[in-house]
Chain A
Amino acid sequence: MDPGRGKRIAGSGWRGAAISLLAGLAVWEIAGRTLGFPFLPPFSTVLSAGLDLIRSPEVRRHLGISLISLAVGFGLAAGLGLPVGALMGRFRKVEYFFDLYLHAFLATPSLIYVPILFALFGVGRGTQAAVVFLYSFFVIVANTMVGVRAGDAALTEMARSFGAGERQVFFRVILPGALPLVMAGLRLGMARAMKGMINGEMFIALMGLGALIRTYGGRFDAVHVLGLLLLIVVVAVLGVGLVQALERRLARWAD
């Protein structure tokens, strides 16, 4: 096992991504300057608009609102989803009870929840968090359930052979073994939570980044729309990246 080999492979990945990004930005800049489409301003213009947006206190307020609904919605989805998924994975009866709802909600396109929730509960920040919650909850439950259910039979038998009781088997063998899938569920849940955040905000167009996009879009202000898009992409990548870093840290053994 040559530790240097792993580093080299990871290194070339980063270089490749950086080169690809620079090339893409270069194409965007050139196309923006030469083609003259109103909806494709050059990258440099968009970047400077993006930086202006970040510096603006109004945008920061919207960003804060978005991030709070994201945190509350995702926090609830994880806080509730992890135990529900674990119980479903552990006890067949619990699984059979909730399975119908789980599959129904997973199959439904999540965008449908948005107008329904806003119609039912009004245009408040609570509703916004509820949208984020519904977007991410079921994915977290499903992955946690599968992770817990797929408990390694050989390891369970080994633990029993050393006199482990049921609780010890669950907390010391099954749960740690489920961690990679649980983390994958959280990562997917975070990505979906972001989508829920933006979709919900765009729908009601009152506050948050989604609302800002509709405002600028309504004015045909391509520069600021794209600047916001850049901002949202950065937030999304950071959010998912955070979960991924946690995933790598906790589930390193699963490679």
Chain B
Amino acid sequence: MIEVRGCMKIFPGREGHPPTRALDGFDLTVRDEEFVCLLGPSGCGKTTVLRILAGLLPWEAGEVLIDGRPVTGPGPDRAMVFQHFSLLPWADVEENVAFGLEMRRVPAAERKRAARHWIEAVGLAGFEHHHPRQLSGGMQQRVGLARALAVDPRILLMDEPFGSVDSQTRRLLQEDLARVQQKERKAVVFVTHSMDEAVRMGDRVVLMGPRPGRVIESIEVPFPRPRLPEVRKENAFVELKEYLWGRLQAMQGDGTGLKTQDASG
């Protein structure tokens, strides 16, 4: 239900710098309930794609459609989770989780009820009146996730959500998200740097090339759902990870990117 066709995004240059072509000819299709991971080298435009889908950025060419309608701005069908959590430091957990609903002018009683429900769903019951500075990174991101889920979006846009926590917390959060996704069945666009994370979480991995960003390859992840953590031990998992790493490595070494790439990768 997300369709991006031939999207081009140019950031104007500042003070003597030339403009940046962040995306060029970018195509993406995401079906309902599909978990798509965007994987690519630094600077390839992954976050730009997310911000365009969120309705935060305009674009210069191409189409960006959600359920057949062009994106014109942020909407109640989408919610974002941020790498650095973006929680309000002066508000407590309950106010932070309710924040999205408050921006959508949902009445207070309903906001409170929804906030409490999602706080419990992400495992933070009892922490309603804590402030972000009293929480660990993993807990803060759970707040961010609860905030996004509280507005009941059909699409979750996640910008390297686990990139700011340590690797153990990262694994725990991945498991939590997988469990939530199993229940909620949102369409998810998940930006990541990690091959391991992309294969663990995604139904499909979309590999992006270096700037200007476009899709190099789209790979179905061959594991059924519900997907247990043990899937990491399977041969097919390791092979897919290594394949992705091989493709990414080739991109880093060759500054011009993979313009003419044959099937032998």
State yes or no: do A and B come from one complex.
yes
Interface residues of A (CB under 8 A from B): 1, 154-155, 157-164, 168, 172-173, 176-177, 179, 253-255
Interface residues on B, range: 20 to 34
Q: Is the CB of A176 within 8 A of B88?
A: yes
Q: Is the CB of A158 within 8 A of B86?
A: yes
The listed residue (B76, B79, B102, B133) touching A172 by CB distance below 8 A is: B102
Can you name 5 extra interface pairs (CB under 8 A) apart from A162-B103, A172-B103?
A162-B74, A162-B151, A163-B74, A176-B88, A176-B90
A7 smallest CB distance to B (angstroms): 16
Q: Which residues of A have CB within 8 Å of B55?
A: 161
Q: Does B82 belong to the interface (CB within 8 Å)?
A: yes
Q: Is the CB of A160 within 8 A of B56?
A: yes
Q: Which residues of B have CB within 8 Å of A160?
A: 56, 74
Q: Is the CB of B88 within 8 A of A163?
A: no
Interface of B is mostly: loop
Cα distance A155–B134 when bound, in Å? 19
Interface of A is mostly: helix
Q: Does B80 belong to the interface (CB within 8 Å)?
A: yes
Q: Is the CB of B90 within 8 A of A163?
A: no
A1 smallest CB distance to B (angstroms): 7
Q: Which residues of B have CB within 8 Å of A157?
A: 51, 56, 86
Q: Is the CB of A173 within 8 A of B56?
A: no
User: Looking across the interface, which residue of chain B has its beta carbon closest to that of A156?
Assistant: B86
Q: Does B70 belong to the interface (CB within 8 Å)?
A: no
The listed residue (A158, A159, A173, A253) touching B131 by CB distance below 8 A is: A253
Q: Mark B69-101, 1 if CB is under 8 A from A, else 0.
A: 000001110111010101011100000000110
The listed residue (B76, B80, B90) touching A158 by CB distance below 8 A is: B80
Q: Which residues of A have CB within 8 Å of B76?
A: 163
Q: Is the CB of B54 within 8 A of A161?
A: yes
Q: Is the CB of A164 within 8 A of B89?
A: no
Q: Which residues of A have CB within 8 Å of B104?
A: 162-163
Q: Is the CB of A168 within 8 A of B133?
A: no
The listed residue (A162, A163, A164, A253) touching B133 by CB distance below 8 A is: A253
Q: Find the residue from B55, B88, B131 having the highest chain A CB count within 10 A.
A: B88
Cα distance A36–B173 when bound, in Å? 74
Q: Is the CB of B134 within 8 A of A1?
A: yes
Interface residues of B (CB under 8 A from A): 51, 54-56, 74-76, 78-80, 82, 84, 86, 88-90, 99-100, 102-104, 131, 133-134, 151
Q: Which residues of A have CB within 8 Å of B102?
A: 172
User: Looking across the interface, which residue of chain A has its beta carbon closest to that of B148?
Assistant: A162
Q: Contacts A163-B75, A253-B131 given; indicate if A154 touches B56 (C-beta within 8 A).
A: no
Q: Which residues of A have CB within 8 Å of B88?
A: 155, 173, 176
Cα distance A164–B151 when bound, in Å? 13
Cα distance A157–B52 when bound, in Å? 12
Nearest 6 pairs between A and B by C-beta?
A158-B86, A162-B100, A162-B103, A164-B103, A253-B90, A161-B80
Q: Find the residue from B84, B88, B99, B103 having the highest chain A CB count within 10 A.
A: B103
User: Looking across the interface, which residue of chain A has its beta carbon closest to that of B88?
Assistant: A155
User: Looking across the interface, which residue of chain A has its beta carbon closest to that of B99?
Assistant: A162
30 contacts between A and B (CB under 8 A): A1-B134, A154-B82, A154-B84, A154-B86, A155-B86, A155-B88, A157-B86, A158-B86, A159-B99, A159-B103, A160-B74, A161-B55, A161-B56, A161-B79, A161-B80, A162-B99, A162-B100, A162-B103, A162-B104, A163-B76, A163-B100, A163-B104, A168-B103, A172-B102, A172-B103, A173-B88, A179-B90, A253-B131, A254-B89, A254-B90
Q: Find the residue from B75, B90, B100, B102 having the highest chain A CB count within 10 A.
A: B90
Q: Which residues of B have CB within 8 Å of A158?
A: 80, 82, 86
Q: Which residues of A have CB within 8 Å of B100?
A: 162-163
Cα distance A163–B102 when bound, in Å? 10
Q: Which residues of B have CB within 8 Å of A179?
A: 90
B189 smallest CB distance to A (angstroms): 13
User: Looking across the interface, which residue of chain B has its beta carbon closest to that of A173?
Assistant: B88
Cα distance A159–B147 when bound, in Å? 11
Q: Which residues of B have CB within 8 Å of A177?
A: 90
Q: Contacts A157-B56, A158-B80 given; indicate if A163 touches B134 (C-beta within 8 A).
A: no
Cα distance A158–B151 when bound, in Å? 14
User: Looking across the interface, which residue of chain A has its beta carbon closest to that of B153?
Assistant: A162
Q: Find the residue from B80, B86, B133 having the highest chain A CB count within 10 A.
A: B86
